[in-house]
Chain A
Amino acid sequence: MEKTQNTIDSKFQKKILGFLDGSLSIEEKSEFEAYIRTHPEFEAQIKKKEDELSFLKNLIPVPLMSKEITESLESEMKLSIFNLLKEEPKSFADRVRNSWEEWVSR
C-alpha cells in the first residue's frame, strides 16, 4: 500500500516543473491540481521547486545598454522604421505627407 502511494507521489513529483512551466497538457494539469487539493502537504514540494526556479533567474545575465548604445540603437531603429515602413503614396497628398514625415523625423 505504502509502495503504491510512493509511486503516485513520485509520479506527481516529476510533474511539478511541468506544472510550473505550464507545459502540462490540460488533462495532466487537471489531474495535478486535483492531486494538490487532496494532498496539501505536497504544496511544500511545489514551493521548493518554485524557489529553485526563482533562483535560476540569478544565473541568467541581465546585460544593460550604455548611454551610447541606447542612443545609437534608438536612432538606428527609427531609421529602419522610417525607411521600411513607408506607405505607398496613393495621391499627391500622401506624397506630401510622406515627405513631411521624413523631414520631421530627421
Chain B
Amino acid sequence: MKRKDFYQLVLPVTDKLYRMAFRLIPDDLQAEQLVVDSLNAYLIKEKKKILAASEYELLSKKDIQISRRLYFKGILRYMGEIGCRRSSQLVDQTKFNQPSDFQSFYGLAPKVRLIISLRYDFQFTVDEIEDIATMPRYEVIEKLHNGRFLLLNDFNQGVQP
C-alpha cells in the first residue's frame, strides 16, 4: 500500500477520531494534537503491516470498509492509551476547564468515557472494545455498567422537580 492509499483510507474517519479525542480531552487544540499523536504512534508501530497491505485500487468496496475499520480501531487503541493518561495529567494540573454542557459525561473517568463512546457511539462490540482499550472483559463490562448507570442516574435526578 502506498502512502496516499493509507491517507485515502484514513481521511474519512478524521471527524470520528476528533470526536473521540475531544471526549477524552475537551479542548480543541489538545484534541487535535491527540489525533495526530495517536496516528503517529500507530504509523511508527504498524508501518511494515501498512506498507505490505494491498493497494487501494485493488480493494473491493467491502475490503475498503474492512480496512478502514481496522485502521480506525488501530488508531483508537493508541488514542485510548495516550488520551486517558494525558487527560488525567491535564485535569490534575487544571490545564483546561470542563465544558459546561454534558457535565455528567465529562464528570466520568476518562476510561469510562472511552468505553461508553466506543460502545454507544461507534457501536463496537464488547469483544472489539476489549481489544481497543486493551482491557480484560470484566473491566469493560464494569465500566459500561458504571458509566451507563451514572449518566442515566444524573439525568433522572436533573429532571426531577
A residues near B (Cβ < 8 Å) are 17-18, 21-23, 52-53, 55-57, 59-66, 69-70, 72-74, 76-78, 80-82, 84-87, 101, 105
Q: Which residues of A contact B14 (CB under 8 A)?
A: 65, 70, 73-74, 77
Output the nearest chain A residue to B145 by Cβ-Cβ distance. A17
CB pair A69–B28 under 8 Å, yes or no, is yes
Output the nearest chain A residue to B137 by Cβ-Cβ distance. A23
Shortest distance in angstroms between A13's beta carbon and chain B's nearest beta carbon? 15
Shortest distance in angstroms between A17's beta carbon and chain B's nearest beta carbon? 7
CB pair A65–B18 under 8 Å, yes or no, is yes
Q: Which of B47, B102, B127, B141 touches A61 (beta carbons < 8 Å)?
A: B102
Asked whether B6 is an interface residue with its Cβ less than 8 Å from the other chain, the reply is: yes
CB pair A80–B119 under 8 Å, yes or no, is no
Consensus secondary structure, chain B interface: helix
Kindly identify, within residues 1 to 18 of chain B, every residue whose CB is under 8 Å from any CB belonging to chain A. 2-4, 6-7, 10-11, 14-15, 18
Shortest distance in angstroms between A56's beta carbon and chain B's nearest beta carbon? 6
A53 to B86, CA, bound (A): 29
Q: List 12 A-B contacts (CB under 8 A).
A: A17-B145, A17-B148, A59-B151, A59-B155, A63-B23, A63-B31, A64-B15, A69-B28, A77-B10, A77-B14, A77-B39, A86-B3
Which 9 pairs from chain A and chain B are nearest by CB?
A63-B22, A84-B43, A61-B102, A23-B126, A85-B3, A59-B151, A22-B125, A76-B36, A81-B7
Given the interface pairs A21-B119, A70-B14, A73-B32, the reply to whether A60 lies near B102 with Cβ below 8 Å is yes
